[in-house]
Amino acid sequence: MTASHEIRPGQSLELLKELHILTREGKLNQDSRRKLKQVSHLFQFIEPLLQEIEQTRPDMHLVDHGAGKSYLGFILYDLFFKSRGHGTVVGIEMREELVTRSRELAARLGFTRMDFQNLSVAESITSPLLPAQVDIVTALHACNTATDDAIRFALARKARFVVLVPCCQAEVASVLNRGKGRALARDVLTELWRHPLHTREFGSQVTNVLRCLQLEAHGYQVRVTELVGWEHSMKNELIIASYKDLPRARAAQRLQEVLSSLGLEELQQRFFA
């Protein structure tokens, strides 16, 4: 299956082959077509944010948290940063072998303003290896609490924009499940998560609601939308937060009320970071 109509003008075919999105013959299979569509759609959301930052701070810094194989970071650099001659992309990943692989690929492609760091969340928040000022933080399909780690990092580094596509998330569902017996006795709404499948799905929904309230409680304006059609990915929720220094008290109050209402008080430290 050829890919000529799905590749943007000037996009590096060599990069897409290295990322195994294209075969060596320059073709796409169905799985890689979905992957390319997801990343391309995400770029359409991120590009206007980068252009806005560029107006006042051309030497911008984008940090991709929980970068994995750095699909997103490489695509962003190729489509936006490469042609401009300014700005950097930094990938943070805890698996050392993936960091090494990404560094080698960036060197082969001549992507000189890409950097990759093997750091934990706690280390990344204070590490002098990262830019003092971070303009935009991204996290694509960062599993479970890794999305929350990206939010912690963004808040600590006072990022102007935060772009998140959450992935599997089990922590809230686990807490809901432990308290289910007591909750069923006192509140009929516990029926929303009585069955294990509903516990998982409801927990996922609640997790993202709490993340939005957390960002709003730090002065961000939050928008939630779909990334691509559900036929391409079930992990489809896109959260875009823009720092506007908005009033914080109501969002913080709502966040506390949701935690208390659902018996999630033990997670207060995570969402009030």
* Dihedral angle sign, alpha carbons of residues 208, 211, 216, 217: positive
Element housing 89 (H / E): strand 88-92
Enumerate the β-bridge partners of residue 115.
90
Percentage of the chain modeled with pLDDT above 90 = 60
Tokens in use for 166?
């959450």
pLDDT for 233: 46
85 Rama sector, left if φ>0, alpha if ψ -120 to 50, beta otherwise: left
- The pLDDT value recorded for residue 205 is 92
Prediction pTM value: 0.91
Residue 3 pLDDT: 53
Whole-angstrom distance, CA of residue 17 vs CA of residue 93: 22
pLDDT of residue 202: 93
3-class SS of residue 53: helix
User: Looking at residues 179-200, what average pLDDT do you find?
Assistant: 85
SS3 170: coil
Tokens representing 51 are 């252009």
49-105 pLDDT, tens digit per residue, is: 999 999 999 999 999 998 988 989 999 999 999 999 899 999 999 999 999 999 999
Distance from first CA to last CA of the chain, Å, rounded? Answer: 47
- pLDDT of 150: 92
Assign 3-state DSSP to the chain and report helix, strand, coil percentages, each to 5: 50, 15, 35
Q: Which residues pair with 239 in a beta bridge?
A: 164, 224
Domains of the chain: 58-271 (3.40.50.150)
- DSSP run (H or E) holding 147: helix 146-156
pLDDT grade, residue 132 (50/70/90)? Answer: confident
